[in-house]
C-alpha cells in the first residue's frame, strides 16, 4: 500500500525553547577539542583521570561482594538521599551527621541542582577569574549575573572581594580552593579565613567545590572552607554558610558518577526535592560499590594517584622551564591535575591551538574559563594522563609553537 502523506514542514523547536534553554551554550571547549582528538596528537587538553591507575580488580571484587551481600536490593530503586553507609562514612569524616549529606550523580549534578535551588534570574554569583567552566554551564540556565573576582597565585584576592561586596549584594560565591580547575592554584589559609569573614558579614553563601583536595602531592594540607566554616559555627552545621561539594571521580573513578554535597539541613532537604525531580537517586549499585571501596581501596588509591600526578606535574614543570620562552609564565600546582600558562599579551591561544595541533600537541585555550570574557593569552594544561614521553615531546612542540607565534 502506498500512502501519499503530505510533506510536513520541519518543526521550529528553537523558537519554542524555554528562556533557560536559550541561555545554555555549547561548551566552547567541546567544540575546540574536536580538533585535538586525532590519534597522533599529544593532548594536554582533556583533563581525564589516568585510566591505567583505575582499581579495576577492586571494583570487580566489590561489585561481586555487594551483589552477594545485598542481592536484588543492589539493583532496586533506593532513597534519594543516598546509600546510608556511604553517607555515614562521609559524615563521620566531616564531623557532621548523614542528614547533612546528599549523594549526587557526579558533583556536576550537585552544581546543577544547587544552581536550581539557589539562583534566581539576576542573582549575583561571584566566581573566580578564571573559574571551572562546568560550573558556569550548570548555573547559566538559572540566569545568574556573574561578577568576577580577580585571582593571583594565592587564589581569590580577598581585598578585591571586599570591594565587590561593598558595592553590591551577592547571593553566592562559587570557588574551587584546592588545585583549582583550570589554574591549579590553591587559596591560602589566610585568605580562606578572610573570605569566610567577608561572606558571613555580607550574607553571601559560599559554594566550595573540592574534587581535588585529597590529591595534594606537595606541601601541607589546608583546612577546607567547610571545615573552617564549621569551626566558626561552633561545630554546628546549621550555622555554617558554607556548602561543600566533593566527588569520588578524581580519587577513585569518574564513571561510577558518585559524589556528594554537605550543608545545613534545610539546604539538603531542598536538594533532596530537586534531586527527586532530576533522577530520583544516584545508581544504587554504584553507591554500594563505592561504599565497599572507601575503607581500604580509596586510601591506597589516593596515594597511588598522588604519586603519579606529582611525578607528572614535576616533569611537566621541568620541561616547561626547559622549552618555553622566558616571557611565558605558568603555575606550579601542589596537587590536582592542571597547570595554567600565560603567554605574552597580544597572543591569542585560540588560533595558537590550531598551530599547536599542526605540531601534534593540544591544550585548552583559557578564555572560556572566564565568565565575562578575557584571558585570550592563557591556556590550561593537564598532566594527569600523560606519559613522560608525551610530556617531553608535547611540551617541546608547544614551546616551538609559542616561539613561532611570538616572532
Q: Please, what is the minimum distance in Å from the beta carbon of residue 222 to ligand PMP? A: 16
| Residue 106 in the binding site for ligand PMP (CB under 6 A) | yes
> 212 vs 324, which CB is nearer to ligand PMP?
212
Q: For ligand PMP, what does the binding mask look like between residues 58 and 97, x meaning CB under 6 A?
A: ----------------------------------------
Closest Cα partner for 133 from 176, 101, 166?
176
Residue 168 is placed in which grid cell? 553590591
Angstrom distance (rounded) from CA 36 to CA 334: 27
Residue 207 parent element (H or E): strand 205-209
Q: Please, what is the minimum distance in Å from the beta carbon of residue 326 to ligand PMP? A: 30
Is residue 242 a contact partner of residue 200, using CB atoms and an 8 Å limit?
Answer: no
Q: Is 282 left (phi over 0), alpha (psi -120 to 50) or beta?
A: beta
| Residue 366 in the binding site for ligand PMP (CB under 6 A) | no
| Residue 324 in the binding site for ligand PMP (CB under 6 A) | no
Q: Is 144 left (phi over 0), alpha (psi -120 to 50) or beta?
A: beta
Q: Please, what is the minimum distance in Å from the beta carbon of residue 186 to ligand PMP? A: 13
> 191 vs 380, which CB is nearer to ligand PMP?
380
- Residues 228-267 interacting with ligand PMP (rule: CB under 6 A): 247, 249, 254, 259
In the list 58, 209, 292, 315, the residue contacting ligand PMP (rule: CB under 6 A) is 209
Q: First and final CA of the chain: distance in angstroms?
A: 70
> 136 vs 320, which CB is nearer to ligand PMP?
136
3-state secondary structure of 258: strand
> 37 vs 76, which CB is nearer to ligand PMP?
37
Output the CA–CA distances (angstroms, integers) from residue 32 to 26, 186, 346, 404, 406, in the order listed. Answer: 11, 27, 20, 21, 22
Q: Which stretch binds ligand PMP (CB under 6 A): 101-109, 226-234, 283-291, 315-323?
A: 101-109
Angstrom distance (rounded) from CA 320 to CA 326: 10
Q: Please, what is the minimum distance in Å from the beta carbon of residue 40 to ligand PMP? A: 25
Q: Which residues contribute to the site for ligand PMP (CB under 6 A)?
A: 106-108, 132, 134, 176, 181, 209, 211, 247, 249, 254, 259
Amino acid at each position: 500500500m502506498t500512502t501519499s502523506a503530505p510533506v510536513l514542514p520541519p518543526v521550529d523547536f528553537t523558537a519554542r525553547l524555554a528562556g533557560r534553554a536559550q541561555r545554555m551554550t555549547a561548551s566552547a571547549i567541546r567544540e575546540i577539542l574536536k580538533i585535538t582528538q586525532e590519534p597522533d596528537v599529544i593532548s594536554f587538553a582533556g583533563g581525564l583521570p589516568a585510566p591505567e591507575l583505575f582499581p579495576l580488580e577492586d571494583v570487580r571484587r566489590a561489585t561481586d561482594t555487594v551483589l552477594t551481600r545485598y542481592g536484588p536490593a543492589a539493583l532496586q530503586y533506593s532513597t534519594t538521599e543516598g546509600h546510608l553507609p556511604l553517607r555515614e562514612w562521609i559524615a563521620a569524616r566531616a564531623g557532621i551527621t548523614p542528614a547533612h549529606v546528599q549523594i549526587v550523580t557526579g558533583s556536576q549534578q550537585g552544581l546543577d541542582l544547587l544552581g536550581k535551588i539557589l539562583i534566581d534570574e539576576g542573582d549575583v554569583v561571584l566566581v573566580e577569574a578564571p573559574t571551572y567552566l562546568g560550573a558556569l554551564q550548570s548555573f547559566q540556565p538559572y540566569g545568574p549575573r556573574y561578577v568576577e573576582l580577580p585571582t593571583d597565585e594565592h587564589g581569590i584576592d580577598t581585598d578585591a572581594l571586599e570591594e565587590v561586596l561593598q558595592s553590591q549584594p551577592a547571593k553566592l560565591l562559587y570557588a574551587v580552593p584546592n588545585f583549582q580547575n583550570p589554574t591549579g592554584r590553591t587559596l591560602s589559609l589566610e585568605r580562606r579565613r578572610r573570605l569566610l569573614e567577608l561572606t558571613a558579614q555580607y550574607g553571601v553563601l559560599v559554594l566550595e567545590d573540592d574534587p581535588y583536595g585529597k590529591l595534594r602531592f606537595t606541601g601541607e594540607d589546608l583546612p577546607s572552607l567547610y571545615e573552617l566554616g564549621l569551626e566558626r559555627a561552633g561545630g554546628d552545621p546549621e550555622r555554617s554558610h558554607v556548602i561543600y561539594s566533593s566527588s569520588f571521580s578524581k580519587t577513585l573513578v569518574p564513571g561510577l558518577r558518585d559524589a556528594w554535597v554537605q550543608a545545613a539541613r534545610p539546604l539538603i532537604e531542598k536538594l533532596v526535592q530537586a534531586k527527586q525531580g532530576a533522577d530520583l537517586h544516584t545508581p544504587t549499585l554504584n553507591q554500594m560499590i563505592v561504599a565497599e571501596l572507601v575503607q581500604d581501596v580509596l586510601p591506597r588509591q589516593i596515594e597511588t594517584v598522588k604519586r603519579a600526578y606529582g611525578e607528572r606535574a614535576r616533569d611537566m614543570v621541568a620541561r616547561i622551564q626547559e622549552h618555553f620562552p622566558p616571557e611565558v609564565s605558568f603555575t606550579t600546582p601542589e596537587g590536582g591535575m592542571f597547570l595554567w600558562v600565560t603567554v605574552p599579551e597580544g597572543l591569542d591561544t585560540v588560533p595558537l591551538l590550531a598551530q599547536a595541533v599542526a605540531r601534534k600537541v593540544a591544550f585548552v585555550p583559557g578564555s572560556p574559563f572566564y565568565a565575562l570574557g578575557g584571558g585570550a593569552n592563557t591556556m590550561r594544561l593537564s598532566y594527569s594522563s600523560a606519559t613522560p614521553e608525551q610530556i617531553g615531546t608535547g611540551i617541546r612542540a608547544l614551546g616551538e609553537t609559542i616561539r613561532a607565534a611570538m616572532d
